[in-house]
């Protein structure tokens, strides 16, 4: 049986004015840059060690003067679990011995837990912030728990917090005594017999190198002349003479069948970053073996910032699997949609900024059905996980609208959508609901741009009803973030009706690489039966024949032309008339909302 660091409450640390987060065997923290993800990791790390902080680490609002008396509080509650990660009534013998008299009993459930507070406060005499741990006698609602006596370092020594920051690099760790690599290699031991044999061989090698080098022999002679004692002896050691110094020159070399060994510092950042996790595994495995043999409790608490850094998409998935397979509890921050596609949704915590304060919340809520969760995982997380980092998301019915919207949005804002943090997603018919649920939950602005066709509107209304309640009387005009093309038109026919026939014709000819493609289309399909068995009549231009031919052509393959049509409209129209009005209305709404939200 083991333990689980279950609940963490953080107050007044950096952007975390007051944040509660529930953890699992592995927890993945997501959110935009500067939302506070790393601050949560750093706070958890601070809770399990006794390091100090700087004045800048204290949360201060923009209108608040610095106050020395303000304290950081980090409350942690730990529960006993079994091999299946099910919470148990009591800690096993090892953990009971580790926590000692700091184990508490829940008054409601009669189950044991261990809780403590890290209090960081300014000591004016020492002029530093002190880090003191106190037992929590009664875990209550967040921030109201009552503390008891202080606890010693030994109480927490069975939990090893391992912080792996985003700037990890094995080539730097090799030269850092304080790194995990440095700590591991400092423990290398060999028997006295082996040591003597190796050092004898080192002496022979030194002598042989000097003997073969006229330069070294000359230097040795000159050094002897400079000594005060005539009988003194000077030896030059081209390589180290003792085994400990030999370890200091340790390095890693990679070789394949077509190359000579390459030192790790000459390899890419991806390899050097990934290699750090190998030393962490070795450290954990070493500690586990020792603790088991000594019958002592042990939990590695692994805190990883952005494991995807410098690693290509396929390797990101493999790396996450490797981390997740490590023994211990993991807390991971990430921006990678490739990693998100592998994660159970109940393990995700979303962090966002409200004004200058970070807020953390689980991705899922209790009222979602299993079917809802499956749809969110399949439709959103497996393919569109990047929306979790967006400022705004535009949901369109299909691929046609997605392609065209991207071009028109770029024209309106004079920036790429990704520069604005805007995602445009073709949901594929009636799949709006999973996206709406996630975006609503995370307070990310969303908009719908929909065709006005009967089936499309029926699907959209059905999705909105699922979102706000089946019994609610629904009117699309009540939604200022929903934009529907009028008169039952789809995007293509809307562009035609707005007078863009010349641009559409040019786009078709460009895509087909034939400047006379519309004439070919008219000649080829005229008098043939079209949709509904109606005979096509394209030759009677006075009766709108050319218009009908253009319409039938773009509707025959809806995903083929939209990008070219949008680009042609933006290219040939005067600035004020380039963008169709309904799209302009959508973009103005997004622009105003982003300004209000400070993005």
Residue 305 banded pLDDT, cuts 50, 70, 90: very high
Strands, E assignment, 405-475 = 422-426, 445-450
Please give the structure tokens belonging to residue 215. Answer: 């330069």
pLDDT band at 215 (very low <50, low <70, confident <90, very high): confident
Lowest mean pLDDT among 45-49, 72-76, 314-318, 584-588: 314-318
Task: Give the orientation angle of helix 562-572 with respect to helix 399-413, to 10 degrees.
Answer: 20
Q: Which of 25-34, 62-71, 386-395 has the lowest mean pLDDT?
A: 62-71
Question: Looking at residue 87, what is its pLDDT?
Answer: 93
Residues 6+ apart with CB under 8 A from 463: 430, 431, 432, 433, 436
Per-residue pLDDT at 114: 96
**Rounded CA separation 242/433 (Å):** 69
pLDDT score at 398:
82
Residue-by-residue DSSP string for 56-120 = GGB---TTS---TT--EEEEEEEEEE-TT--B-SS--HHHHHHHGGGEEE-TTT--EEEEEEEEE
* pLDDT confidence of residue 480: 94
In 502-568, the DSSP E strands lie at none
Nearest to 149 by CA among 119, 193, 106, 188: 119
pLDDT at residue 184 greater than cutoff 90: no
**Alpha helices per DSSP H over 174-268:** 180-185, 192-212, 214-225, 243-248
Q: How far is CA 22 from CA 19, 160, 331, 346, 440, in A?
A: 10, 19, 11, 11, 21
Query: Which of 101-110, 201-210, 300-309 has the highest average model confidence (pLDDT)?
Result: 300-309
The answer to whether 28 and 307 have CB atoms below 8 angstroms apart is: no
Task: Give the mean pLDDT of 324-344.
Answer: 93
pLDDT at 136: 93
Amino acid 263: pLDDT = 84
Quick: pLDDT tens for 224-261.
665 555 566 777 888 887 777 777 778 888 887 777 78
pLDDT tens digits, residue range 122-167? 999 989 999 999 999 888 766 667 788 899 999 999 999 999 998 8
State both tokens at 52. Answer: 């100090």
Using CA atoms, how far residue 184 sits from 161, 173, 175, 307, in Å, is 16, 11, 12, 22
Residue 346 has pLDDT above 90, yes or no: yes
Q: What is the dihedral of CA 30, 36, 38, 43, to 10 degrees?
A: -120
The reported pLDDT for the residue numbered 577 is 63
Mean pLDDT of the chain: 88
| 3-state SS class at 393 | strand
pLDDT tens for residues 432-447? 999 999 999 999 999 9
Q: How far apart are CA 398 and CA 146, in angstroms?
A: 55
Q: What is the pLDDT of residue 40?
A: 97
Contacts of 558 (CB under 8 A, 6+ apart): 398, 399, 400, 492
Residues 501, 497: Cα–Cα separation, whole Å: 8
pLDDT computed for residue 357 by the predictor = 94
Percent of the chain with pLDDT over 70: 95
Higher confidence at residue 529 or residue 435? 435
With a cut of 60, say whether residue 90 has pLDDT above it: yes
Residue 169 has pLDDT above 80, yes or no: yes
The radius of gyration computed from the CA coordinates of the chain, to the nearest angstrom, equals 33
Q: What is the pLDDT of residue 477?
A: 84
Domains in the chain, start-ordered, CATH in brackets?
2-167+279-351 (3.40.50.300), 181-250 (no CATH), 387-597 (no CATH)
């Amino acid at each position: 049986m083991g333990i689980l660091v279950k609940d963490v409450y953080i107050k007044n640390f950096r952007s975390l004015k007051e944040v509660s987060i529930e953890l699992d065997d592995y927890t993945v923290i997501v959110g935009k840059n500067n939302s506070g993800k790393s601050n949560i990791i750093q706070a958890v790390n601070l809770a399990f060690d006794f390091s100090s902080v700087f004045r800048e680490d204290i949360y201060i609002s923009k209108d608040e003067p610095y106050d020395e008396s303000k304290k950081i509080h980090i409350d942690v509650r730990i529960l006993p679990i079994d091999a299946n990660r099910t919470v148990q009534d009591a800690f096993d013998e090892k953990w009971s011995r580790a926590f000692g008299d700091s184990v508490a009993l829940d008054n409601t459930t009669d189950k044991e837990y261990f809780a403590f507070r890290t209090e960081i406060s300014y000591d004016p005499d020492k002029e530093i912030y002190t880090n003191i741990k106190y037992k929590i006698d009664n875990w209550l609602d967040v921030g109201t728990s009552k503390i008891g006596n202080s606890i010693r370092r030994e109480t927490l020594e069975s939990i090893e917090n391992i912080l792996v920051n985003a700037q990890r690099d094995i080539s730097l760790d090799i030269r850092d005594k304080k790194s995990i690599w440095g700590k591991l290699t400092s423990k290398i031991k060999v028997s006295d017999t082996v040591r003597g044999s190796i050092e004898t061989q080192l002496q022979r090698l030194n002598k042989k190198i000097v003997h073969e080098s006229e330069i070294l022999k000359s230097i040795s002679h000159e050094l002897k002349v400079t000594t005060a004692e005539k009988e003194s002896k000077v030896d030059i050691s081209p390589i180290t003479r003792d085994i400990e110094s030999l370890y200091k020159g340790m390095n890693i070399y990679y070789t394949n069948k077509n190359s000579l060994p390459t030192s790790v510092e000459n390899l890419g950042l991806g390899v050097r970053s990934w290699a750090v996790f190998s030393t962490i595994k070795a450290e954990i495995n070493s500690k586990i073996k020792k603790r088991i043999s000594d019958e002592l409790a042990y939990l590695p608490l692994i805190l990883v910032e952005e494991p995807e850094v410098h690693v290509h998409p396929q390797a990101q998935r493999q790396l996450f699997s490797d981390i997740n397979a490590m023994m211990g509890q993991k807390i991971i921050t990430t921006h990678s949609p490739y990693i998100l596609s592998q994660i159970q949704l109940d393990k995700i915590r979303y962090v966002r900024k409200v004004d200058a304060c970070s807020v953390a919340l689980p991705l899922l809520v209790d009222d979602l059905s299993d079917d809802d969760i499956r749809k969110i995982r399949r439709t959103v997380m497996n393919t569109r996980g990047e929306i979790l980092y967006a400022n705004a998301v535009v949901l369109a019915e299909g691929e046609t609208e997605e392609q065209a919207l991207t071009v028109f949005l770029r024209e309106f804002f004079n920036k790429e959508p990704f520069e604005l943090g805007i995602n445009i997603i073709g949901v594929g018919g009636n799949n709006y609901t999973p996206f709406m649920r996630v975006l609503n939950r995370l307070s990310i602005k969303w908009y719908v741009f929909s065709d006005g066709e009967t089936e499309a509107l029926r699907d959209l209304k059905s999705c909105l009803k699922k979102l706000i309640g089946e019994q609610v009387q629904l009117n699309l005009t009540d939604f200022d973030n929903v934009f529907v093309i009028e008169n039952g038109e789809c995007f293509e026919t809307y562009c035609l009706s707005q007078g863009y026939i010349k641009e559409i014709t040019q786009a078709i000819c460009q895509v087909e690489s034939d400047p006379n493609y519309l004439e070919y289309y008219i000649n080829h399909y005229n008098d043939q039966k079209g949709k509904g068995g109606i005979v096509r009549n394209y030759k009677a231009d006075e009766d709108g024949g050319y218009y009908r031919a253009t319409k039938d052509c773009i509707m025959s393959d809806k995903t083929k032309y939209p990008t070219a049509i949008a680009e042609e409209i933006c290219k040939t129209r005067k600035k004020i008339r380039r963008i169709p009005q309904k799209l302009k209305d959508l973009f103005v709404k997004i622009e105003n909302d982003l300004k209000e939200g400070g993005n």
